[in-house]
Amino acid sequence: MAWSSSRSHRGASRGSHRGAGKMPWRSRNESTQSPESSSPAPPLGKIIRTLTVDDLETTAEGQSSDLTISQFTTVASYNWLDKKNSAPTILVPGKPPLWTPQAAPTTLQEDSGKYFRDKNAARYPKHPLEPAVTVALDADENISTGVAIVACGSTLGNLLRFVRGQDKPFRMLVQTIHATVFLTRRENSPTELIPGVRGYGHTFPEANTTWEADVKGSGSHQRVVRYHFGGLELLVRFEADGYIKPPSSVLTNTSPELSPQADDDQNPLSDLLSDLGVSGSSPSPSSDDLHVKPAGALVPHSQLFELKTRSILSKGKKDHLAEELPRLWISHIPTFLLAYHTRGLFKAEDILIQDVRDEVKNWEQDHKTELAKFAALLNWLVYDNPKEKFELCFSGGGGKLEVREMLDDAVVEALSDDVKGRWAPVSSGTPPPPPPAESDSEDEDDKRYTWDYDYGFYDDEPQPDFTACSADHCGYCGKCDY
């Protein structure tokens, strides 16, 4: 089947010895809200077309450049407040749990309880992406003018696994709103649980991280970032497992060869808080409304870590970091914390903290062929998708990616009407052209952007004035000589 290259656009407790400020790293109340333990898969709509990895080959040839994540910037962040029987509430900017390792190793109980597959959908099932979009718009009311795709780490990760030939099944809803494509993950139910939870992936962070006083009661920390890839600008939400304050004595628990590099960021991101525009008004009495409360501090991206726990029996036998590099690439989290245990006992010398920025860059360079296909798939979603709303389904087993009609049972809308109105059109019906290819020129006039890992990029050229004219006449092009 030919792959179109057309550019037409469719429009348990941590332990009392840790102090009263401690809260579970993973939601304690998740196991008390009695969510569904299982549910049948939603019905499938009619197949519109199918895609294979081979279909991407031809289009991927045109993606030989722009296959690195660039112009990365933190837009906003928030915490889900974990309070039983309360309306959905986020704390903005929130704060990740702080790395506070135990003074002496203790044997932990294995994970038990119930944990949602998708925390965002469980807390806000009608519009799981909306909290991320809301805080992004509060940080930058014009952010919609450049963003081509809004997604989460899960949906992007699923698409990346597909083009890499991995067999993990998935379903996601695709919706185009004002020329921006929104990707929303779809489980059997918003309250679908992770079955057969084993290991120490919850009890270890509960014992070794702390929700600080200003964000006490949080259940998870979500980050919203933007970056360029494949000629597109993406707005991406993902969960951060925690952060490490520099300078930090906790790094003495790390093997010397894996110690993180010294943090070279001097300017705190908290200086940006005044731009968030968080409303302090009283929440609406409706339990369906999203409540936004100011709390926390915007933690620099360079202090974030991804955490995994593994059996000591796998140490030296399995490359656990290699398994996580695609996820770390999508989020650009710079630090990987790998904790080995011996039947639940975590010793200081077996907790490794590694700066993985170089490893992520090397992974990106070594997987250009797959990333070209990934870029081709993302561009298809933006420029050649068949309908305003549809569903992507992949059953695994080396099968095809199915593009299916979205049935009426898929009641999840990417955005509510109010927020959809704030996500203003880029123009009056005319999609933005694909961004030009990056130039290799070293001319100073070509260097429009100055990029910093935490603070993003800043355009040194004057910005167009989108308020000078009427959409009825020229569509807010921003170039009128008024």
Cβ atoms 193, 37 nearer than 8 A:
yes
Q: What is the pLDDT of residues 159-208, one digit of tens each?
A: 999 999 998 899 999 999 999 999 998 775 566 766 666 678 889 999 99
The pLDDT score that the predictor gives to residue 117 is: 65
Its domain, for residue 30, covers 16-426
Question: What does the alpha-carbon distance between residue 111 and residue 125 come to, in Å, rounded to a whole number?
Answer: 26
Question: What does the alpha-carbon distance between residue 148 and residue 295 come to, in Å, rounded to a whole number?
Answer: 30
Q: Work out how many domains the chain is built from and give that number.
A: 1
- List, in order, residues 6 or more apart from 142 with CB less than 8 Å away: 466
Cβ atoms 111, 199 nearer than 8 A:
yes
Q: 371 lies in a domain?
A: yes
CB atoms within 10 A of CB 416: 17
Q: What is the reported pTM?
A: 0.73
The pLDDT score that the predictor gives to residue 246 is: 82
Spell out where 230-303 has E strands. 232-239, 242-243, 291-296
Cβ atoms 71, 457 nearer than 8 A:
yes
Q: 459 lies in a domain?
A: no
Question: What does the alpha-carbon distance between residue 94 and residue 212 come to, in Å, rounded to a whole number?
Answer: 10
| Cα 309 off chain centre by | 21
Q: 445 lies in a domain?
A: no
The pLDDT score that the predictor gives to residue 334 is: 97
Q: 245 lies in a domain?
A: yes
Query: Chunked in runs of 10, what are the mean pLDDT values of the chain (482 residues)?
Result: 38 34 38 49 86 85 81 97 85 97 88 69 79 96 95 96 92 94 78 68 91 96 97 97 77 32 34 30 50 96 96 94 97 97 94 97 96 95 90 87 85 85 64 47 34 35 40 42 36
Q: 38 lies in a domain?
A: yes
Which residues on neighbouring strands pair with residue 243, listed in sequence order? 98, 304
Q: 103 lies in a domain?
A: yes
Question: Which phi-psi region, left, alpha or beta, contains residue 113 (left: φ > 0; alpha: ψ -120 to 50)?
Answer: left
Cβ atoms 298, 243 nearer than 8 A:
no
Q: 377 lies in a domain?
A: yes
The pLDDT score that the predictor gives to residue 397 is: 75
The pLDDT score that the predictor gives to residue 118 is: 64
Grouping H, G, I as helix, E, B as strand and the rest as coil, residue 206 is helix
Question: What does the alpha-carbon distance between residue 179 and residue 195 come to, in Å, rounded to a whole number?
Answer: 37
Question: What does the alpha-carbon distance between residue 159 and residue 181 come to, in Å, rounded to a whole number?
Answer: 14
The pLDDT score that the predictor gives to residue 20 is: 34
Q: 438 lies in a domain?
A: no
